[in-house]
Amino acid sequence: MKTHFNLASSPLENNRRFIAGAATLGIIALAALFFLSVHAMRARRTNGAIRADISRLEDQIRASQREQERLRVALKDPKTVEVMNRARFLNNLIEQRTFPWTKMFADLEQILPAGVRVVSISPQMDKTGRVKVMLVVSAVNDEQKVKFVRSMVSSPAFSNVRPTQESHPEKVATGNAGVVLLSLEAQYATI
């Protein structure tokens, strides 16, 4: 029979498992370090490109702000202000000339009953292209006045018809004027 005696001062230990585990963890750590280093370099390169884009855009903003300030100073020049006022005045004249007077008179002719005359017409065009018309009409009596208002309300050319003032003048300078003066506001369909 054989007996095994350990004559060493310390018992024999098997470290193979520890070394294999430590080597595996070391390889995993090195791989993670490699991937993180590659990712950090890519992020730095991308951030550098983004910083360059930001710098380029900030330069463009500064150039645009300088141009805006130059234009602001140029627009405050008295000569430029005079030209802009003249252009605004001419544009208003052109806008008034583009009002469809012929169409409006044709529409009024269709709805105007006997005994009612148009004394004045004052159109105002807003920025959206809608036209608000202020009309003053004279009628020989209240019945004709009511007929006119009803026909204006039922007309597709006019909307939001609203009487603003009514008067019964005793003496009118012209002999053909009616006995009832009526002021109206309405939206006119220019199309």
Give the pLDDT confidence of 37-72 residue by residue, as tens digits.
999 999 998 898 899 999 999 999 999 999 999 988
Q: How far is CA 187 from CA 66, 116, 129, 159, 162, in A?
A: 45, 20, 11, 5, 9
Q: How far apart are the C-alpha atoms of 104 and 86, rounded to whole Å?
A: 29
Q: How far apart are the C-alpha atoms of 166 and 39, rounded to whole Å?
A: 84
Q: How far apart are the C-alpha atoms of 29 and 32, rounded to whole Å?
A: 5
pLDDT: which is higher, 130 or 112: 112
145 confidence band (pLDDT: 50, 70, 90): confident
pTM for the structure as a whole:
0.47
* Runs of H (alpha helix) within the chain: 16-75, 78-97, 101-111, 142-154
**Which burial class, exposed, middle or buried, applies to 132 when counting CB atoms under 10 A from its CB (0-12, 13-18, 19+)?**
middle
